[in-house]
Amino acid sequence: MLSLQDVNARLPLVRSIVRDVMGLHRDLSERRGRLRELRERYPAPGVSQAGRTAGTAGTGSLMSGVGRVGPAVYEQEVVQMESELARDETRMAEYARELSSIGGSLADAGLGQVDFNGQLSGEQVVLSWQFDEPEVMYCRTGLRHGGERRLLMQAAGSGDLGAGGVSEFGQSC
């Protein structure tokens, strides 16, 4: 279990990883969309459409709808895109493992949210940080990742835990 101070001390490294995660997530989302469009327009060889076979690999053409033929170069592009997507999805998993090795769990790649199993005033909590936040200011409801984020501190922007580390905390998680 990490303390709030432990997590905040790790944020410079977490920020760096999450910056890369968010960029890769945006890129993957865009490329998945383009790939889906290409696959709809130019289905893979051997796919039956309305009783017709689109052909076999090596015929030099793909069906792109009934009676229309598109160049095989689209299939080569799709195969290359799929390969690059797989490589980058592996890279995303590596980022998630790197966050895990320092105590974090990637909660939302698009928003840059990372959760940490933590301890606050002797209680187990899920501390939640998002990329645009200067420090950990939220926790998740209950002890579950993916639950609602709740503000930790009553005084917004107050990073001071006070003498006992309890007096300024708002809702419990």
48-99 pLDDT per residue, tens? 444 333 433 333 334 444 444 455 667 788 888 899 999 999 999 999 999 9
What's the whole-number mean pLDDT along residues 121-135? 93
Per-residue pLDDT averaged across 134-139, rounded? Answer: 95
Residue 121 lies in a domain: no
Beta bridge partners of 129: 114
Domain residues for 52?
2-104
Per cent of the chain over pLDDT 90 is 49
Is position 6 within any domain?
Answer: yes
Q: Is 26 contained in some domain? A: yes
Lowest pLDDT segment from 33-47, 59-73, 153-167: 153-167
**Residue 58 in domain:** yes
pLDDT of 65 reads: 46
Task: Answer yes or no: is 10 within a domain.
Answer: yes
Beta bridge partners of 118: 2, 125
pLDDT category at 143 given cuts 50, 70, 90 is low
Length of the chain: 173
In a domain, residue 162? The reply is: no
pLDDT at 157: 40
| pLDDT for res 142 | 66
- Total domains present in the chain: 1
**Is this model's pTM higher than 0.75 or not?**
no
Residue 21 lies in a domain: yes
Dihedral sign computed on CA atoms, order 35, 38, 39, 40: positive
Within a domain: 93: yes
Token digits of residue 149: 């984020």
Give the pLDDT band (50/70/90) at residue 147.
confident
**Dihedral sign, Cα of residue 40, residue 42, residue 46, residue 49:** positive
Q: Where are the beta strands (DSSP E) in the chain?
A: 2-3, 48-49, 52-53, 61-63, 69-71, 104-108, 113-120, 123-130, 138-140, 149-151
Contact, 136 vs 159, CB < 8 A? no
Q: Average pLDDT, whole number, for the chain?
A: 78
137 vs 18, 140, 171, CA distance in Å? Answer: 17, 11, 12
